[in-house]
Amino acid sequence: MLRRARRILGNEADAREVVQDVFEALLAHGASFRGESALTTWLYSATTNGCLNRIRNAKTRARLLDARNTPEVAASADAELTAIVRNLLSRVPPSLAAIATYYYADEMTQEEIACVLGCSRRHVGDLVDRLHACLRENEKTP
């Protein structure tokens, strides 16, 4: 698990924290392990998801800090863009809005999204295609 976390995060301290978090979650919520696979498979998957969450959270923190340090003109443009994006996301089903957030805002690959959602990369590709179709359809309606 530690080797996997190191490989994904590239940082020993962060890798150790993720592994510790996984074991804490296992102790606190052991019932979430349904026994459908080996415990090692579950731990490996939980480690991967923990690492991806840490990466996504770091990107979000960096983006928020950058937004905080930008001039007011850029902030108002960002606010307008945020309003447009929120409006678009409100018109698509929640599952597609989540895909849009992972794919565009978090800049995750389809493989990473598949790991987070626990599905195949192909399914994620289908969801991205559905998202695009839904957005095109929304462009046609006022």
- What pLDDT does 127 receive? 93
Residue 119 CA: distances (Å) to CA of 45, 103, 105, 125: 12, 15, 20, 11
Helix (H, G, I), strand (E, B) or coil at 16: helix
Return the CATH number of 72-142, one of 3.10.105.10, 1.20.5.440, 1.10.10.10, 1.10.510.10: 1.10.10.10
The whole-angstrom separation of Cα 125 and Cα 82 is 25
Q: What is the pTM of this model?
A: 0.44
Q: Are 47 and 4 in contact (CB under 8 A)?
A: yes
- What pLDDT does 52 receive? 85
The whole-angstrom separation of Cα 8 and Cα 15 is 8
Q: Where are the domains of the chain?
A: 1-69, 72-142
Q: How many CA atoms lie within 13 A of 21 on its CB side?
A: 15
- Give me the helix-helix angle, 121-140 and 110-117, nearest 10°: 100
pLDDT block averages, 10 residues each, the chain of length 142: 86 91 83 70 83 81 68 56 72 81 81 87 94 83 58
- What pLDDT does 71 receive? 52
Q: How many CB atoms lie within 10 A of CB 48?
A: 20
- What pLDDT does 73 receive? 46
- What pLDDT does 32 receive? 64
